[in-house]
Homo-oligomer: A and B are copies of this chain.
Amino acid sequence: MSASESDSTRRRRARKAGASGMPGSGDATVGDAGLLRGRFVGGVHPALDRINRSFSVDRRMWREDIAGSTAHARMLGEQGILPAKAVRRIHKGLAQVAREFEAGTFVDHPEDEDIHMAVERRLTELIGEDGKRLHAGRSRNDQVATDMALYLHGARERLTRKVVDVQVALVALAARDGELVLPYYTHLQRAQPVLLGHVLLAWVEMLEDDRAGLAGPAGRDLCPLGAGAGTGTTFPLDRRATARELGFAGPTRNSLASVSSRREVTMAAATMATTATTLSRLGADLVLWCSREFGFARLGDAVSTGSSIMPQKRNPDGAELLRAKAVVVSSSLSRLLELQRGLPLGYSKDLQEDKPALFEAEDTLMDMLDVARAMLEDVSFDGAAMSAAVEDPRGYLLATEAADFLVRRGVSFREAHEAVGALVSAAEARGVGLADLPDEVLTAAHARFDGTLREVLTTGAALSARSIVGGTAPTAVRRELAAWKRRLGR
C-alpha cells in the first residue's frame, strides 16, 4: 500500500517514470527541472503541461509584464534591495526582451510556462545572474494581477477608440441620409414615422453609454504589486512608487484581496458584453433592412457575401455575425464569474482561466467593432422604399396622431384610444387609410372628430410635432446631430 511507501521509493518510481514514460500512458514527461521544479524529480507530465501552460495565451501581456518588472526593479534599487548596477543591467535586459517580442524574434523555450517565467528566463540568458534577482519581494500572484490591471488600461483604450469609429460612421450616415423617413417599429409592427437620423443617433447614444463604461475602470484602479503571494512581503518595498510609475491611482490595500479579486476584470468583461449586445441589435436591424421585404438598406459589395449555390444572393454575413458573436462576449463574462465562484480566498489555479476568457471577449468585440464600422461606411439607404412603407395607408402609422388630436380637444386618453381603435377597424374594413375615411365615419367614431383631423394625419405633421427633447422632429434631430458632430470632433 502506498501509504507506507517511503519517500525514497517514491522518488525512484518518479525518476523511472521520468525516464521511461508514465506507467500505462506511453507519454514521456517533458521539460527540464524548470525554474520552479527544483524540489521535484523529473519533468512534468505532458498532459499536465498542456493544460497548465498558459504562455500561448498570456504572451500578449509581454508589454505589461516587462513594464511591471521594470518598475519593480527600479524600486528595488531605490529601496537598496538591489544594487544600482544590477538594476541597470536588468533594465537593459528587459528592454532587449521587449525588442525581441516587438520584432517577433523572441524564441520560446520549453520551460516558458507563462509570460512571467518566459521574460525572467530570457532576461537571465541575456544578463546572467542579475536576472535571477528580479523576483525578490514579488510573487507571480501579485505580478499577474498587476499585468492584468495594466492590460485592462490598454484594452479599454483600444476598445473605446473603435467604438468612437463606429459612432463617427453613424454620424456621417445621419449627416448624409438623416432626413429620410422610415417606420419606427415596436414588436416589429409599424408604429410611427421616424427620421433615419433619429434611428442612427439612437445607436450613437447607446454606444456612448457603452463607451463611457469601457473608458473607465469599474473600481478604484489600484496596483496589486507588493501584495506578494497574498500576505505582503518581508522586503521594504515602496508600493506607492511602483503604482505611480505604472499609472495607477495608488497601491491596493489588503494583500489577500489583491491577489484573490478578479472584480475589475469581470466588470471590464461586463462592459464589453453590453457593447457587444448593442452591436448585436445593430446587426439585427441591418439584417432586416437588407431583406427584400424591408428593402431599406443595401450593403456594398465589399461587405456582402455570396452563396455557394444561389448566384443571386447578397448576404449580410457581417450583420449576422454581429448578432452571433455577441454570444461569445456575453458568455466570456459568464465564464469569468463562474471561474471565481466558490473559490476559497487566496490564489487558486482556476483564476488563470480569467485570461482566455477576457482576451476572447476583447478580440471578438474588436472584430465586431471593425465589421460594424466597415458596413456602416459602405451602406446605402433606399429612401423610396422607406417612404413607401411610411405612406402605406394600411400601415396606420398615424393612429397616435388621431388619438392625440382628441386629447387636445379635451377627450381623455383612454376614450381617444378606443375611438381611434374603431377608426382603424373602419379603415381596415374599407381597405383605406385613416385620412381617406369620410367625415361621417370620423364623427361616428367620436363626436369630437371632424375634417380638421386630416391636417394632423400627415407624416410631416407627425414628425414636426415631436419636437420635445429627444423627439424625432427634424429640428430636434438636427440639433442632436450638430451636438454629436461637435462632441466627436468632426
The minimal Cβ–Cβ distance linking A350 to chain B, given in whole angstroms, is: 4
Contact A313 B191, beta carbon cutoff 8 Å: yes
Contact B309 A417, beta carbon cutoff 8 Å: yes
Residue of B nearest to A340 (CB): B277
B-chain residues with CB within 8 Å of residue A186 when the two chains form the complex: 141, 229-230, 307, 310, 313, 315, 346-348
What is the oligomeric copy number?
4
How would residues 208 to 223 of chain A score, 1 for a CB under 8 Å from any chain B CB and 0 otherwise?
0110110000111000
Interface size on A, residues (CB 8 A): 235
Contact A283 B342, beta carbon cutoff 8 Å: yes
Using A209-B263, A333-B337 as known contacts, say yes or no to A312 and B468 having CB atoms under 8 A apart. no
Q: B139, B206, B287, B309: which contacts A309 (Cβ < 8 A)? A: B139
User: What are 18 A-B contacts with C-beta separation under 8 Å?
Assistant: A3-B384, A8-B429, A14-B302, A35-B417, A36-B307, A38-B422, A39-B314, A51-B325, A141-B309, A194-B230, A205-B257, A239-B468, A284-B342, A311-B420, A312-B420, A324-B352, A331-B331, A331-B338
Would you call A192 an interface residue if the criterion is a C-beta within 8 Å of the partner chain's C-beta atoms? yes
Contact A229 B337, beta carbon cutoff 8 Å: no
Contact B206 A293, beta carbon cutoff 8 Å: no
Would you call A432 an interface residue if the criterion is a C-beta within 8 Å of the partner chain's C-beta atoms? no
B-chain residues with CB within 8 Å of residue A303 when the two chains form the complex: 44-45, 48
B-chain residues with CB within 8 Å of residue A185 when the two chains form the complex: 291, 344, 346
Contact A38 B470, beta carbon cutoff 8 Å: no
B-chain residues with CB within 8 Å of residue A392 when the two chains form the complex: 292
Contact B219 A213, beta carbon cutoff 8 Å: yes
Contact A413 B135, beta carbon cutoff 8 Å: yes
Q: For chain A, what secondary structure do more than half of its interface residues adopt (helix, strand, loop), or is it mixed? A: helix
How would residues 2 to 42 of chain A score, 1 for a CB under 8 Å from any chain B CB and 0 otherwise?
11110110100110011000111101010000111111111
Q: B253, B273, B346, B377: which contacts A205 (Cβ < 8 A)? A: B253
Q: Within the assembled complex, what's the spacing in Å between the Cα atoms of A162 and B485?
A: 44
- Which stretch, A56-64, A125-133, A447-455, touches the partner chain B? A125-133
Q: B81, B293, B315: which contacts A349 (Cβ < 8 A)? A: B315
The minimal Cβ–Cβ distance linking A257 to chain B, given in whole angstroms, is: 4
Q: What are the 7 A-B residue pairs with the smallest beta carbon separation, nearest first?
A: A232-B471, A3-B383, A132-B414, A312-B396, A38-B421, A2-B380, A132-B412
Q: Within the assembled complex, what's the spacing in Å between the Cα atoms of A317 and B347?
A: 11
Q: Within the assembled complex, what's the spacing in Å between the Cα atoms of A141 and B386?
A: 24
Would you call A256 an interface residue if the criterion is a C-beta within 8 Å of the partner chain's C-beta atoms? yes
How would residues 344 to 381 of chain A score, 1 for a CB under 8 Å from any chain B CB and 0 otherwise?
11111110110010000000000110110111011011
How would residues 257 to 294 of chain A score, 1 for a CB under 8 Å from any chain B CB and 0 otherwise?
11011010011001101100110111111011011111
Would you call A305 an interface residue if the criterion is a C-beta within 8 Å of the partner chain's C-beta atoms? yes
Using A2-B380, A234-B401, A327-B335 as known contacts, say yes or no to A470 and B227 having CB atoms under 8 A apart. yes
Q: Within the assembled complex, what's the spacing in Å between the Cα atoms of A154 and B267?
A: 22
Using A226-B470, A231-B198 as known contacts, say yes or no to A342 and B323 having CB atoms under 8 A apart. yes
Using A3-B382, A51-B368, A209-B220 as known contacts, say yes or no to A324 and B353 having CB atoms under 8 A apart. yes
The minimal Cβ–Cβ distance linking A330 to chain B, given in whole angstroms, is: 4
Q: Within the assembled complex, what's the spacing in Å between the Cα atoms of A311 and B395?
A: 12
B-chain residues with CB within 8 Å of residue A187 when the two chains form the complex: 287, 313, 315-317, 320, 347-349
Q: Within the assembled complex, what's the spacing in Å between the Cα atoms of A80 and B225?
A: 62
The minimal Cβ–Cβ distance linking A360 to chain B, given in whole angstroms, is: 9
Would you call A245 an interface residue if the criterion is a C-beta within 8 Å of the partner chain's C-beta atoms? no
Residue of B nearest to A418 (CB): B38
Would you call A473 an interface residue if the criterion is a C-beta within 8 Å of the partner chain's C-beta atoms? yes
